[in-house]
Structure 1
Amino acid sequence: MNLAGVVAPLQAEAKRANERRLLTLAGERAAGLDAAREAVASLDDADVTVVTARERVAWGERLAPAHASQLLGTTRDAVVLDAHAGVSANVLGRVVGAVDGGGLLVLVTPPLDDWPTRRDDTDERFAVPPFTVADVTGRFRRRLTELLFAHPGVAVVDVDAGRAECDGLTDPPPARRRPPPAVPDGAAFPADAYRACLTADQADALSALERLRTPETAVVVEDDRARGKSATAGLAAGSLAAAGRDVLVTAPSSRNAAEVFDRAAALLDTLGVATDRDDDGRHISTPAGSVRFRDPEAAVDVIGGSGPADAPDALIVDEAAALPVRRLETFLTGPPVAFVTTVHGYEGTGRGFDVRFRDRLAASDRTVTDVRLDDPIRYAAGDPVEVWAFRALLLDARPAVDPVVKGATPADAVYRALDPETLLADEHRLRETFGLLVLAHYRTEPDDLARLLDAPNLTCRALVVDGHVAAVALLAREGGLPPSLREDVYEGARVRGNMIPDVLTSQLRDLEAAQPVGYRVLRIATHHALRSEGFGTRLLSACHDEFGDEVDWFGVGYGATPQLVRFWERNGYRTVHCSTTRNATSGEHSAVMLRPSSPAGEALYDRHARRFYRRMRDGLGDALQSLDPDVARAVLRATDAAPAPSLSAHEWRVVAAAAFGPGLYDTAPGAFADLALAHLTDPAADLSPRAERLLVRKPLQAWSWERVAADLDYVSTRECMRALGAAYRPLVERYGTDAAAEERRRYE
């Protein structure tokens, strides 16, 4: 076969249009890789990366699929992706973005007719116990195969038969030359910063970022991949540092922010500013300013004011959509801030950022400036490989438009099973479903699409209004593990896809927790035009009715906020665990809640609810001492296994004396803690939120009087002490024994 006869015209038109092309080489692995080597060898002085699970290749730069993230922010003339060991949707998304305009993405696959049914490493990842590889399907590979023939710019070659099945040619017009960006009149940033921009979009965004010099401002920079948002943020950071300002940069990981620091350093070098950059490149110092990285949790501490000298002059949040809304809100309390985010990306969804965060940003005291980058930098607009990748990975999936569902009520909706075959056969419904799932979580990835289509442990249900998906729930079947695997988990082994049994077994030391079978609610989302109308509750209720006889429990694990805890509590879920550490990205403690549906599920819940009560009694004064009091109130109230308070007669007299007379808290702090815990776990209890926060902060978390008074806005420690006594009066009346009543009568 004359492979050059396919490659040469394919690359020639890619260069002419400044676009990319996709070359698929289907067949046995050795023949496919030999053909890939021949294809890239015909490219002049090509910079080639081969992404393969093979130990070595004799040509190009070899990169293991697990390290494909190293390609983010880089460019290659060609990338070869060996899909014989498996095709991760995440890896595919990463390698596509690394190919430069005029370059080739080479996909080496098994024969396309049997690729969907071949077993590979991806199937191993989706075969969560007790399911096996035989239970995993190949629908995602089937979808990829079909789309290879459905899109322009994609050539398909059968290397075994030696024939081209599709030449991939589109006959595009030559690429237009971009005019160089102009330096705006009156620009505050250096002219060299604007000259470093590659598009007018970048220059406009850089001009907007000049507002980071002004207090109480926020700038939102959005783009799709390869538009230069991070580079522009780096030029802004370098400009601010050159002017003597301290710029704090945060992102889900330091890798995400690498481009920001590289561009900042390059600009400072161009400006002739002396710099000192640390070994990992995440701190650049100038004689008067700096650009420094902190992870999201540490960034909150910095802007929170650990000291005036440490407070930055500006904050840049890169890949902002990959952070939860609660974390983003904390960044509004600090210096001028830029939220830099990808609209359609696997790091996090800009659509979710828009729906979930925009209202809170608008309600803040910030003056907000929005700017969007549309022009690709590395290739021409309308690039066919980008179009193919967006569709294949559903990077631009979104829910139904507002007008088609707005005004609907839960009674208007029809409960539907969305099995993978149904979704695969209906692109419109698949896009609406996945679009809603994207909004349900801030870190939805392309692998989640493959998991939705292929994983045997997942079940999808929806409420549909006039043919459109109004709410969707994704359930993961967990538990039912054999005794040998339960023993392994108890002894520290990790088990995929069984989050709740894993936590209850390995962390909470329950050897039998992984025996009952349950459904964990992995995602639940309601269309943003229908929120707070009861759709989520109706959908959960339908799921409980459908599956309640099949499983022992329903469960959920999530970053706890008071609002979310109350939602799950209203739907019959009860707390059994609150993590002692915060998630470094979200800044939230995770809660695990169960809703029993069988005697085995009741037994599982009962023993863990009792243990949770005892853990919180001691943990709030130790590992959970910084837990938000409103989260503590919510998770404690959402359990119904609390015993009646057990205080001695002497302890009751101490508490009653402190509530109604001259008694002192310090005489028996344990008794006050026990009584506070009893109240906070009592569904019928009735105290003001402020009084309950006081019960959390002082008796349970053992904060000092001075710290509690400052945290809860009491004018003095004396007033705080009096308020605590007052809070215990109704508790003594509700739970107190004869000894408490007798002590109380002394002061009436």
Structure 2
Amino acid sequence: MIAALARDAKREAEAANERRVLVLAGDRDRGFDAAYDAIEAVDPTSTAVVSTRDGFRFEEHRPRSADELLGRTREVVVLDCHEQFVPNAVGRCVGAVDGGGLLILLTPDLDAWPAVRDRFDDSLAVPPYGIEDVTGRFRERFVGTLRSHPGIALVSLGADGPGGDAIERDGLTGPPDDATADSGGRSAETPTAPPNATFLETAYEACLTGDQVRAVTAFESLATPGHAVVAEADRGRGKSSAAGIAAGALALAGRDVLVTAPAFRNAAEVFARARELIEGRARDGDEDGDGDENGDGDGDENGDGDDAHRLDAPGGGRVRFLSPADCADLPDDPDAVIVDEAAALPVRLLERFLDAPAVAFCTTVHGYEGAGRGFSIRFRERLRASRFAVRDVRLDEPIRYARNDPVEAWASRALLLDARPAVDEAVAGSAVGDATYRRLTPGDLLADEPLLRETFGLLVAAHYRTEPNDLARLLDAPNLTARALVAEGRVVAVALLAREGGLDADIRRRMYEGERVRGNMVPDVLTSQLRDEAAAEPRGLRTVRIASHHALRDEGFGSRLLDEVHGEFASAVDYFSVGYGATPRLLRFWRRAGYRTVHLSTSRNDASGEYSAIMLRPTGDDGPGRDLLDRHAAAFRDRERDGLSDAHRDVDPDVVAGALRACPAPAPIDLTEAEWRSVVGASSGPGMYDSAPGAFRDLALAALIDGAERGERGETNDAELLDDREERLLVRKVLQGRPSDSVADELGYVSPGACMRALGDAYEPLVERYGTDFALRERERFISD
């Protein structure tokens, strides 16, 4: 029966060039036996198994390592959902099944499955919660999609063997309509180069669809500085392949092409297609027939044998990969940059690529990792305002399966890959004062699909990397809760909140001694990195993500939502917290919301390219939360005095200034008379900065830290005494210890001497603000009548 069902599903899938799903529900061992029966019946050319078990005769992957399937295709993929059901793995496995292929899911009994707890659930049971606190709502919804969506066959496996198997659904959809059946998007004729093409003809011959031809044609503009390309597509449309073909063609034309993506595996298809084009051209031009396209005698297509992330082309061009943070610095001055999976990167990092001579952004519209509303909404505004002539291209034709493939539609629905906020017209004109504050329980979300889609869509918009695992966390994790503002029945702002801390002494000790404790990000950093064993005792509520509808940006919805959260939870926790990639704008937002800086990471996040800030807001003027803030704010102040010239030497000066303004620990000033003579002499007389750099550092810290607090108390704000360039000057030269010539160049001073004179001028108001009687008398010596 299983064999016949698999053959029927495979036959129909092949006829329509679609995919089918076969669910084998019941005992795990029986499921594997049935899966083998199905595989033998369809006799695939390639099979992959994703399971916590091993020893199969097929290609094997672990659920947590299913990312390895990205960019690969298999005729049959088996996903074992028993011991570790990872939502991300479902998306990866779906993406790996080729047109005409089968996805086989091995699951517990579908009626019982929502109550099953496995190793993935254990990852959601963050202390102080246990696995018994994890709910099964994500599985409940997932099972519902399996039972209702076309193209999915369900078999209830008998515990005693095949005789007890029962087919719940055969998953067959019938013959495809002539109007919708296609060849999976492949062009009926071999694509050819368009008129006036500048790339090699072989580049266009490598395309599989007309969409790819149009995309490669658009990429031709990257040969000319001042041009940008945006290529958008759903998964499986061949945008990465088109980018790879273009990268290879540019390299063959002598260009240096720098490629980046969230990880190299995301760009693997780019490199595979570039390599095919470059190696094919090199073989065509190998006149001596020895197979050595580099002319170095070793047949090494990379030319160095050591760098797997670089392709060298005949004629001096090359294609090379770097991580986003490293690529953003544009090392070795590339001719063009290609950013793949751009939507999975934060907007601020994407903006740094606009310094490239030419740049392409390839982005997945509905993807398994980072659907990227930040890209489509915020970054496009920045790109349109840039110096680039921008060319847009969209790829709609599927490469590997038919346009109406039911499995693609099922995956999008089951994993909410296509979730998006309410349409602009539905929320336009909403007033922040009229919005209703609402608690979003997992039960509410599960019972109301539009509410769930709008909520999750806003969370996708808030973060550059929202995955199917995050949907499971939203519905099942006991430490998470969601709150929203709703206007006219539409979600206009949402916050995802995590309960942290409140941990017992034993867990705090283990954390202090180096054990990682899941789901307690802020207590973990304060304990393990900053060496405070008591930091995990107070109870905290961390804002994991917060988003307002893009049509209502800067209308106060985010601030209103935070105010409501603060009011609701003030008596339940000791402090509120947040951790994020620090930018000047975000630092201002959180400081105005009452949050104060206690930490700035010592390295950039590989994906975001930012230094991460942690900020706290106590719930009272005294108590555990206030004590926690006071001691860590003071520690942050003391670390930064020296750390800014060491680990934080490269932090953006506006980020430094923003982080220090939000530090509530006053900076002590206790200068000797000799130090005051140096400061006064440099600001009002013939003195020099080099005579007492520590004194200048103390005053700079005081100006940035103390000034903001005074301003909020209604007193004179030191920030008004220094303009933006002067603040950057204090950060770059005094706090970060940069050479005068580089500071002058960065900040636009005509010479290092002019830069240092400006530094002296910047200290005049600081002497006025902080100077002792002795310092003020010393200054009088240089003030003429």
Find out whether 1:689 has 2:724 as its counterpart: yes
- 1:623 match: secondary structure: coil
The code of the aligned residue for 1:112 comes to L
Do the aligned partners of 2:6 and 2:42 also contact (CA within 8 Å) in 1? Answer: no
The code of the aligned residue for 2:490 comes to H
Q: CA deviation at 1:643?
A: 3.5
Partners in 2 of 1:396 and 1:604 — Cα distance?
41
Query: Paired residue for 1:496?
Result: 518
Q: CA deviation at 1:582?
A: 1.2
Query: Paired residue for 1:421?
Result: 443
Q: TM-score by structure 1 length?
A: 0.97
- 2:354 match: secondary structure: helix
Query: Paired residue for 1:391?
Result: 413
Query: Paired residue for 2:268?
Result: 258
The code of the aligned residue for 1:52 comes to S
Q: CA deviation at 1:279?
A: 5.1
Partners in 1 of 2:778 and 2:406 — Cα distance?
82
Partners in 1 of 2:9 and 2:260 — Cα distance?
41
Query: Paired residue for 2:494?
Result: 472
Query: Paired residue for 2:454?
Result: 432
- 1:645 match: secondary structure: coil
Find out whether 1:596 has 2:623 as its counterpart: no
Partners in 2 of 1:420 and 1:265 — Cα distance?
47
Find out whether 1:163 has 2:191 as its counterpart: no
Partners in 2 of 1:68 and 1:717 — Cα distance?
54
Find out whether 1:96 has 2:94 as its counterpart: yes
From 273, 292, 304, the equivalent of 2:320 is 292
Do the aligned partners of 2:182 and 2:403 also contact (CA within 8 Å) in 1? Answer: no
From 65, 68, 91, the equivalent of 2:63 is 65
Q: CA deviation at 1:38?
A: 0.4
Correspondences of 1:574-723 after superposition (within 5 Å): 574-598=596-620, 599-682=623-706, 683=708, 684-685=717-718, 686=720, 687-723=722-758
From 538, 542, 548, the equivalent of 1:516 is 538
Do the aligned partners of 1:80 and 1:105 also contact (CA within 8 Å) in 2? Answer: yes
Partners in 1 of 2:769 and 2:334 — Cα distance?
50
Query: Paired residue for 1:32?
Result: 31
The code of the aligned residue for 1:355 comes to I
Flag structure 1 segments of 5+ consecutive residues without an equivalent. 304-309
The code of the aligned residue for 2:309 comes to R
Q: Which is worse superposed, 276-285 or 15-24?
A: 276-285
The code of the aligned residue for 1:614 comes to D
Partners in 2 of 1:584 and 1:134 — Cα distance?
35
Find out whether 1:176 has 2:182 as its counterpart: yes
Partners in 1 of 2:111 and 2:314 — Cα distance?
63
Partners in 1 of 2:761 and 2:173 — Cα distance?
79
Q: CA deviation at 1:119?
A: 1.2
- 1:349 match: secondary structure: coil
Partners in 1 of 2:593 and 2:52 — Cα distance?
46
Partners in 1 of 2:202 and 2:685 — Cα distance?
73
Q: Percent identity?
A: 59
From 377, 385, 401, the equivalent of 2:399 is 377
In the TM superposition, structure 1's runs of 4+ consecutive aligned residues that sit over 3 Å from their partners are 278-281
Find out whether 1:483 has 2:483 as its counterpart: no
Partners in 1 of 2:249 and 2:750 — Cα distance?
44
The code of the aligned residue for 1:80 comes to V
Partners in 2 of 1:662 and 1:350 — Cα distance?
55
- 2:328 match: secondary structure: helix
- 1:329 match: secondary structure: helix
Query: Paired residue for 1:206?
Result: 216
From 349, 361, 371, the equivalent of 1:339 is 361
Partners in 1 of 2:576 and 2:269 — Cα distance?
43
Query: Paired residue for 1:457?
Result: 479
Query: Paired residue for 1:153?
Result: 151
Partners in 1 of 2:476 and 2:249 — Cα distance?
48
Q: CA deviation at 1:563?
A: 0.4
Q: Which is worse superposed, 266-275 or 133-142?
A: 266-275
- Relative to 1, partners in 2 of residues 1:280 and 1:698: Cα closer, same or farther, differing over 3 Å? closer
Do the aligned partners of 1:182 and 1:200 also contact (CA within 8 Å) in 2? Answer: no
Partners in 1 of 2:107 and 2:307 — Cα distance?
37
Q: CA deviation at 1:244?
A: 1.5
Query: Paired residue for 2:711?
Result: none
- 1:183 match: secondary structure: coil
The code of the aligned residue for 1:241 comes to A
Partners in 2 of 1:281 and 1:104 — Cα distance?
33
Q: CA deviation at 1:533?
A: 0.5
Partners in 1 of 2:95 and 2:501 — Cα distance?
38
Find out whether 1:124 has 2:129 as its counterpart: no
Q: CA deviation at 1:280?
A: 5.7
- 1:302 match: secondary structure: coil
Q: Deviations over 1:411-470 (max 9, x none)?
A: 010000001010011000100000000011101111000010000000100000011000
Query: Paired residue for 1:314?
Result: 336
Q: Deviations over 1:131-156 (max 9, x none)?
A: 11010011111111111111110110
Partners in 2 of 1:350 and 1:371 — Cα distance?
17
- Relative to 1, partners in 2 of residues 1:577 and 1:415: Cα closer, same or farther, differing over 3 Å? same
Partners in 1 of 2:97 and 2:769 — Cα distance?
70
From 715, 723, 729, the equivalent of 2:764 is 729
Partners in 2 of 1:176 and 1:89 — Cα distance?
30
- 2:392 match: secondary structure: strand
Partners in 1 of 2:732 and 2:253 — Cα distance?
44
Find out whether 1:282 has 2:309 as its counterpart: yes
Partners in 1 of 2:766 and 2:544 — Cα distance?
38
Q: CA deviation at 1:176?
A: 2.8
Partners in 1 of 2:148 and 2:374 — Cα distance?
29
Query: Paired residue for 1:138?
Result: 136
Partners in 1 of 2:318 and 2:691 — Cα distance?
52
The code of the aligned residue for 1:390 comes to S
Query: Paired residue for 2:240?
Result: 230
The code of the aligned residue for 1:368 comes to V
Q: CA deviation at 1:363?
A: 0.5
The code of the aligned residue for 1:688 comes to D
Find out whether 1:44 has 2:43 as its counterpart: yes
Find out whether 1:411 has 2:421 as its counterpart: no
Q: CA deviation at 1:653?
A: 2.4
Do the aligned partners of 2:372 and 2:463 also contact (CA within 8 Å) in 1? Answer: no
- 1:659 match: secondary structure: helix
Q: CA deviation at 1:341?
A: 1.1
Q: TM-score by structure 2 length?
A: 0.93
Query: Paired residue for 2:298?
Result: none
- 2:148 match: secondary structure: coil
Do the aligned partners of 1:261 and 1:281 also contact (CA within 8 Å) in 2? Answer: no
Partners in 2 of 1:235 and 1:699 — Cα distance?
49
The code of the aligned residue for 2:726 comes to A
Do the aligned partners of 1:344 and 1:351 also contact (CA within 8 Å) in 2? Answer: no
Q: CA deviation at 1:172?
A: 3.1
Query: Paired residue for 1:187?
Result: 197
Partners in 1 of 2:509 and 2:731 — Cα distance?
37
Partners in 1 of 2:175 and 2:219 — Cα distance?
36
